């Protein structure tokens, strides 16, 4: 098999090829590492220098692949998720030389299945951004058009999968940071329900919103990864004790037409790019013509979701990033400075403008006299948003919406306009605020050949509904 064909294979196809000895795990790993080295996308921050040795060891135990489809599969990991002995920079100068002392639970569970970590992918600093232009290591370019952004903050993982630099990848999603770059890069990405996947070993941005999730070129590969990662973790008290379904079996036995699809009217305003709106409406008509029950629904508090997110998220950011002071973590300053000077030097030089903006905003929101007016009110509205979803999921199984209001925008177009940048998450933040699960998948392209993404949302811990409907859409284009 030609090297350039490896990136086109899905997990099951690679598994069959390995068992048929069409290539070895070492040959495959070397091929991906070579592609990464030759790529101009800036998708990776660092490479796992033990990947080849780990691949050689996998070849010695290839018999395990008979009953384990993930054995030997190459994996890219967002650089906000720890992998022991590899750099964990979070896309920041503050942690540019930090080496992870342990491995995140989500990655460990995949490694236990025999997956090979190729390296750590580029991301907006501490996962703060919608374009991957806020990384200390430079922006990630969109594989479909290198003058466009890859999306953020998991843009490196999205670009790596889209450009066949890895078979699958892990990202993290705080307000759309998996689903939005997946849509921009033309791949699929899953934001699991809050508590479905352990956050242990993920550098926290906003702890009540963050979730680790998979990114791949197809729905079934997302299901393979979630199956391995999901479940309670004694190292993360926020993980759910709910049983993990057999996602792959559900794909085989569930009838997708049993699902009632809801179309929330609040997600279809005139602010959406016309090509995206038309593509989504065509997909809705296709589903209706193929026997699916389609129901218009309302989520009346959706209009407040972005405002709630940008009050709660900075508040948690200001708390979580307090540890990066050059004493516990981060770069150091001259030893003869006073404590005040030390803090000012380390934090002003170590953080990007976007990180400092959010830290300052969060500190203000939590300050005396403003906590009740902003943070407390946002928590109340968060409850209303959750209740909207609870009500609507009593009527429908899955919500269908656009993933983004526009296709991937040009590099530099919004980097100096934070408010416009924040609007790129307008369709994705509500899922994090409410703790539900969401999936983004490609359905079309614009006239300029830029991917268009569709978003599916389901009630907490019903990821299998997203997989069943997403798989149907994917296989019936």
DSSP secondary structure string, 327-341?
SSBS----TTS-HHH
Q: Calculate the alpha carbon distances from 477 to 71, 310, 456, 471, 473 in Å.
A: 30, 36, 16, 11, 6
Residue 334 lies in a domain: no
Q: How far apart are the first and last CA of the chain?
A: 28
Could you give the CA distance from residue 325 to residue 343 in angstroms, rounded to a whole number? 6
List the CATH number of the domain containing 215: 3.90.1300.10
pLDDT of residue 141: 98
Query: Taking the alpha carbons of 139, 127, 95, 97 in that order, is the dihedral positive or negative?
Result: negative
Residue 243 lies in a domain: yes
pLDDT of residue 477: 79
Angle at 407 between CA 458 and CA 144, to 5 degrees: 110
Cβ-count burial of 209 within 10 angstroms (0-12 exposed, 13-18 middle, 19+ buried)?
buried
3-state DSSP call for residue 370?
A: coil
Residue 130 lies in a domain: yes
Positions in the chain short of pLDDT 70: 1-4
Residue 335 preceded by cis peptide, ω within 30 = no
Q: Calculate the alpha carbon distances from 460 to 268, 318, 405 in Å.
A: 23, 27, 24
Cβ-count burial of 452 within 10 angstroms (0-12 exposed, 13-18 middle, 19+ buried)?
buried
In this prediction the pTM is 0.96
Angle between helices 305-320 and 353-365 (to 10 degrees): 100
Domain count, the chain: 1
Q: Tell which residue, 243, 303, 246, has the closest CA to residue 271.
A: 303
Q: Quote the DSSP letter at residue 375.
A: I
Residue 228 lies in a domain: yes
Which residues are tagged catalytic? Answer: 78, 153, 177
Cβ-count burial of 245 within 10 angstroms (0-12 exposed, 13-18 middle, 19+ buried)?
middle
**Tokens linked to 262:** 């809801």
pLDDT of residue 197: 98
Residue 236 lies in a domain: yes
Q: Calculate the alpha carbon distances from 137 to 87, 205, 236, 417 in Å.
A: 13, 19, 30, 21
Residue 123, number of CB atoms within 10 A of its CB: 33
Range of the domain at 160: 3-251
Residue 111 lies in a domain: yes
Residue 360 lies in a domain: no
């Amino acid at each position: 098999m030609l090297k350039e064909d490896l990136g086109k294979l899905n997990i099951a196809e690679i598994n069959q090829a390995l068992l048929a000895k069409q290539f070895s795990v070492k040959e495959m790993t070397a091929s991906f590492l070579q592609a990464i080295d030759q790529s101009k996308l800036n998708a990776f921050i660092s490479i796992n220098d033990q990947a080849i040795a780990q691949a050689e060891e996998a070849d010695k135990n290839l018999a395990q692949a008979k009953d384990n489809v993930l054995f030997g599969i190459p994996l890219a990991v967002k650089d906000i998720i720890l992998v022991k002995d590899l750099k964990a920079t979070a896309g920041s100068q503050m942690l540019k030389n930090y080496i992870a002392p342990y491995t995140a639970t989500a990655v460990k569970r995949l490694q236990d299945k025999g997956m090979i970590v190729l390296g750590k992918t580029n991301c907006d600093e501490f996962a703060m951004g919608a374009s991957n232009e806020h990384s200390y290591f430079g922006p990630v370019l969109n594989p479909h058009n290198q003058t466009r952004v890859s999306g953020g903050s998991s843009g490196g993982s999205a670009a790596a999968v889209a450009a066949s630099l890895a078979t699958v990848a892990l990202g993290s999603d705080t307000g759309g940071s998996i689903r939005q770059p997946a849509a921009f890069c033309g791949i699929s990405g899953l934001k699991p329900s809050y508590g479905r996947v352990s956050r242990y070993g993920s550098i926290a941005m906003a702890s009540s919103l963050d979730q680790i999730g998979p990114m791949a070129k197809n729905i079934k590969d997302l299901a393979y990864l979630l199956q391995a990662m999901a479940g309670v973790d004694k190292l993360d008290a926020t993980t759910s004790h709910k049983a993990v379904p057999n996602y792959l079996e559900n794909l085989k036995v569930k009838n997708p037409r049993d699902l009632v699809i809801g179309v929330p009217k609040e997600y279809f305003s005139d602010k959406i790019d016309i090509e995206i709106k038309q593509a989504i409406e065509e997909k809705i008509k296709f589903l209706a013509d193929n026997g699916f029950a389609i129901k218009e629904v309302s989520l009346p508090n959706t209009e407040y979701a972005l405002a709630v997110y940008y009050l709660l998220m900075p508040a948690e950011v200001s708390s979580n990033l307090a540890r990066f002071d050059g004493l516990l973590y981060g770069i150091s300053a001259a030893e003869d400075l006073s404590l005040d000077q030390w803090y000012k030097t380390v934090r002003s030089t170590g953080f990007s403008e976007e990180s400092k903006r959010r830290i300052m905003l969060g500190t203000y929101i939590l300050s005396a006299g403003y906590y009740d007016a902003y943070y407390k009110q946002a928590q109340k509205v968060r409850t209303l948003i959750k209740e909207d979803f609870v009500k609507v999921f009593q009527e429908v199984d899955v919500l269908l919406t656009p993933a983004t209001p526009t296709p991937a925008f040009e590099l530099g177009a919004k980097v100096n306009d934070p408010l416009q940048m924040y609007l790129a998450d307008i369709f994705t933040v509500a899922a994090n605020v409410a703790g539900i699960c969401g999936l983004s998948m490609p359905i079309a392209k614009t006239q300029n050949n830029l991917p268009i993404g569709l978003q599916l949302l389901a009630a907490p811990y019903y990821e299998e509904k997203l997989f069943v409907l997403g798989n149907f859409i994917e296989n019936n284009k």
